[in-house]
């Protein structure tokens, strides 16, 4: 009796599986019947193949993953080289000199070429000239602006007037206390004993709360990337969801 039942069930499953495969083939053939849809389907299938190939690493390292990884790295390197050629070398060097006749654009070109002398042991000192110019100009522009953006403005925002009568005031007071406690934890010139020790312990709690918030956001970011791929696989590719 059991054997009979097993046979019926297995046959039913096989029939269902067969139907499902037939439906899938119909979808594929249907997709190829319309030219526009077929191209979309082909590209989405290629993208789906690479998505699955990358995810296969989670099971274990394998050839499929390595192929997908190599293709991504290769395409990215090739794409970036051509992009730089067309967005930097052609408009800023070739067109300026050859098309517009601005010969003085040869000077930055020569400076750029000097960078390659780093590969020559005897003449590598020549590479220092463009680097000196680049670092000099870069630092001159960046240091004052970065100091303002990331240090002075942040100092000001830490030292806002605090009180206990409003939420904003309480928030400002908490910021001052917590920043000081966090800084004391990193102050190693005094032994972490007594009041300093207690403040440093509070400081480590503050830092841990900060790390916790960052970790929570990081988890959310990683899950978002997984969700993005699933939206693509189930939606754009298989059309199972909207």
Partner 1 sequence: MMNIWDKLLNLDRRFIYLAVFLAAIIPFLFPVGLEINPTQEVISIYNFIEELPEGTAILLAADYDPQTEAENGPQARALLRHMFKRNLKVIIMTLSQDGAALAEMLTKSIAEEYEKEYGVDYTYLGYKPYPSIIILSIGQDFRISYPADFYDTKLNDIPMMREIKNYNDLAAIIQIGGGNVSNMWLTYAQERYKVKLALAVTAVSGPQYYAFLQSKQIFGLIGGLKGAAEYETLLESEYDRLHLHKKAIQGMNVQNFVHILIIALTIIGNIAFFMKRHPKHMKTKG
Residue from 66, 153, 198, 239 binding partner 1 (CB under 8 A): 153
Q: Decide whether 79 or 187 has the Cβ nearer to partner 1.
A: 79
Rounded Cα distance, 189 and 168, in Å: 34
**Does residue 142 touch partner 1 according to CB under 8 A?**
yes
Contact (CB, 8 A) for 157 and 163: no
Count of other CB atoms within 10 angstroms of residue 184: 20
Query: Which lies closer to partner 1 via its Cβ, residue 25 or residue 151?
Result: 151
Task: Give the residue, chosen from 3, 121, 122, 156, that forms a contact with partner 1 under the rule CB under 8 A.
Answer: 156
Q: Does 217 bind partner 1 (CB under 8 A)?
A: yes
User: Does residue 157 touch partner 1 according to CB under 8 A?
Assistant: yes
Q: Which single residue is written with the structure tokens 């841990």?
A: 208
User: Cβ of residue 147: shortest distance to partner 1, in angstroms?
Assistant: 10
CB-based burial, 45-69: b 16+ in 10 Å, e otherwise: eeebebbebeeeeeeeeeebbeebe
Distance CA(167)–CA(235), nearest Å, equals: 45
CB of 229 to partner 1, least distance (A): 7
Half-sphere exposure of 83 (CA within 13 A, CB side): 6
Residue 67 binding partner 1, by CB under 8 A: no
Number of residues that bind partner 1 (CB under 8 A): 43
Compute and round to an integer the Cα radius of gyration of the chain. Answer: 31
Check residue 145 for interaction with partner 1 (CB under 8 A). Answer: yes
The site for partner 1 (CB under 8 A) is made up of 58-59, 76, 79-80, 83-84, 87-88, 91, 141-142, 145-146, 148-150, 153-154, 156-157, 175, 210, 213-214, 217-221, 223-231, 234, 240-242
């Amino acid at each position: 009796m059991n054997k009979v039942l097993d046979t019926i069930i297995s046959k039913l499953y096989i029939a269902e599986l067969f139907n499902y495969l037939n439906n899938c083939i119909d979808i594929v053939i249907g997709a190829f019947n319309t030219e526009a849809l077929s191209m979309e389907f082909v590209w989405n299938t290629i993208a789906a193949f690479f998505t699955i190939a990358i995810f296969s690493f989670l099971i274990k390292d394998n050839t499929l993953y390595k192929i997908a990884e190599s293709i991504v790295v290769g395409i990215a390197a090739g794409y970036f080289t051509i992009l730089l050629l067309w967005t930097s070398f052609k408009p800023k060097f070739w067109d300026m000199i050859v098309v517009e006749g601005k010969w003085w654009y040869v000077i930055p070109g020569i400076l750029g070429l000097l960078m390659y002398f780093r590969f020559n042991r005897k003449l590598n000192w020549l590479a220092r000239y463009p680097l000196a110019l680049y670092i000099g100009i870069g630092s001159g522009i960046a240091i004052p602006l970065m100091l303002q953006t990331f240090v002075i403005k942040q100092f000001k925002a830490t030292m806002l007037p605090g009180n206990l009568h409003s939420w904003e005031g309480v928030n400002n007071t908490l910021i001052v206390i917590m920043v000081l406690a966090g800084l004391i934890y990193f102050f190693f010139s005094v032994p972490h004993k007594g009041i300093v020790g207690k403040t440093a312990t509070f400081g480590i709690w503050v830092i841990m709360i900060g790390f916790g918030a960052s970790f929570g956001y990081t988890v959310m970011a990683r899950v978002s990337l997984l969700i993005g791929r699933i939206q693509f696989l189930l939606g754009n590719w298989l059309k199972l969801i909207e």
